[in-house]
Amino acid sequence: MDIIDKLYKAVEDKGVVCVGLDTSLNYIPEFFKGKFQNNVEEILFNFNKEIIDSTYDVAACFKVQIAYYEALGIDGLKAYSRTVKYLKEKDLISIGDIKRGDIADTAKQYAKAHFKGDFEVDFITLSPYMGLDSIEPYMPYLESGEKGAFALVRTSNKGAEDLQYVDTKNENKVFHMVGEKVNTMGKSALGSFGYSTLGAVVGCTHVDEAKEIREKMDSTFFLIPGYGAQGGKAEDVALYLKNGNGGVVNSSRKILLAYKRENREKEFALCAREEAIRMRDEIKRACDNLKA
């Protein structure tokens, strides 16, 4: 099964939640850190393992943001590697949030680094704003069906308006142009459900053009940030999906820190599960209401 078909089926079976393992040491309860004598690698990996074990049946996939691990040096990267390997062992879908955007031989090396070896994941994130030749070196992996990528099209941060919303000569926005090019480029790597292994990152914090984006990017699977902490609501998310599928919705802090809101430090993993279920069900209701 192509990796994009596997993701589509995971959404169909488990819902749209993507658990973001943007794991800061500050997010981890002190009692848990104490179990591992402040060994950074063991703390990070074992915390992630607890979150994965508590949410794998209610989440479609897991996104591991590499910056949180790189910032902690070799020990952090060892924890990253162990995390993505653990996801593979459990036959769960992994997204390496690496946002690479270079070209030519450099991009080929990034592809090798994250589609093979110690950092191997199923999907990665890419930035196409240097040009589409920054995506081309990854296409052989994507066209094989074994790997996938999400290209940044319209992001959820406030600064997206600085560049992505600039008007083009045909009275479109830059992100529209990028999205159309990504959608066209991905047509060479379609799975059996009609979606490409070349997906797009499309934030749900700007909803005015949601319907247009979804219609124009007809064969593009979305990775949707912005839900929760950045202000995106379930009703906003539903606009970017097709009958409740065609995308996954990332949540990091809201899931990882659910225990803090409820003051249940010892039950951090159970709280993460409860938040993932709440999020899944809320978005499903919004999708059902949209169809009604």
Nearest CA to 199 out of 163, 239, 240 is that of: 240
**Three-state secondary-structure class, residue 72:** coil
Q: How many CA within 13 A on the CB side of residue 99?
A: 10
Tokens 């949707």: give the residue. Answer: 224
Cα-flanking dihedrals φ and ψ of residue 62, to 5°? -135, 130
d(CA 32, CA 43): 7
Is residue 2 left, alpha or beta, with left meaning phi > 0 and alpha meaning psi from -120 to 50? beta
Collapsed DSSP state (helix, strand, coil) of residue 18: strand
- Radius of gyration, alpha carbons of the chain: 18
Distances, alpha carbon 162 to alpha carbons 143, 157, 174, 175, in Å: 33, 10, 10, 11
202 DSSP β-pair partners: 154
Burial class, 268, CB count within 10 angstroms (exposed 0-12 / middle 13-18 / buried 19+): buried
Please give the biggest Cα pair distance in the chain: 59
Please confirm, yes or no, whether 254 is among the known catalytic residues.
no
CA distance 156 to 229: 11
Contact status, residue 67 vs residue 25, Cβ threshold 8 Å: no
Contact residues for 266 (Cβ-Cβ < 8 A; gap 6+): 29, 31
Instruction: Select which of 88, 99, 181, 233 is catalytic.
Output: 99
Catalytic residues: 99
